[in-house]
Amino acid sequence: MHMETALVSTAVGATMWGLSSTSLGAALTKVGKEKLPLMLGAGAFVFGAQMMNCAIPATGASGHLVGAVFLTALVGPCAAFVTMAAILLIQCLGFNDGGFLAYGANLFNMGLIGCLCGAVAFRGGRRSPASTMLRATVASVVALQLGALAVCAEVALSGISTLHMGDFLSAMQPIHLAIGLGEGLLTGALLVAAQARAFSWKTLTASFALCALVLVFGLSGFASSAPDGLEWSIERATVQE
């Protein structure tokens, strides 16, 4: 769902930068130093997981973990949002994944929305494995649907693309429903496993860091080369124009 600069006008890009930056500033004031190690470890895991595009059967598209709901369940919404901001900034500046003008929109669509959905779903204390799975799935589906809708709104308001917006919306929502379901099941499984083992924070941090190394250096070469949900939707909207 990483938007490129070509999809976003200067006015929309600047507005989303302002909204996301204001939200990030507020979040930074509420993050304690004690969460930093787990934020780094879990953030590295999400960064690696986002490199693992998985094919979506019978569609010709692929998808990957966004991670905002997962991070929120682990470290809380504010720390999760700060972590997502760092992940997306590294991807933008270091890997040219998402345009700089579109960074604010990407942070809103993939970070803020997901963290808010995760905060609603996972407020309160411990819960059963079934409840964790249900909450993770619902939060992920809602987050991806709202994020996809936000992308469509930002593209439409920008008015600089040649996409047929009806076709674009019709492609974005169902493909991100499939991605959201997959993300929800994976997020729930990871959280249930961590809950069942009752890992310490240090063990969780080390485990996520190790998984990140395996994903980046061992498994990323096996990622699907099919277009992601946004790219796939753009192709459909362009062809049907």
Contacts of 67 (CB under 8 A, 6+ apart): 46, 49, 50, 84, 87, 114
Amino acid in the structure at residue 138: V
- Cα–Cα–Cα angle for 148, 25, 113, rounded to 5 degrees: 20
**What is the domain count for the chain?**
1
pLDDT single digits (tens) 20-68: 999 999 999 999 999 999 999 999 999 999 989 999 999 999 999 999 9
Q: With a threshold of 0.75, does the pTM exceed it?
A: yes
Q: Looking at residue 193, what is its pLDDT? A: 87
Beta bridge partners of residue 55, listed in sequence order: 62
Report the candidate in 78, 66, 83, 119 with the shortest Cα–Cα distance to residue 228. 66
Identify the CATH number of the domain in which residue 72 sits. Answer: 1.10.1760.20
Residue 239 banded pLDDT, cuts 50, 70, 90: low
pLDDT single digits (tens) 111-160: 999 999 999 999 977 789 999 999 999 999 999 999 999 999 999 999 99
Amino acid in the structure at residue 193: A
Q: Is 32 helix (H, G, I), strand (E, B) or coil?
A: coil
Which structural domain, as residue segments, surrounds residue 191? Answer: 5-239
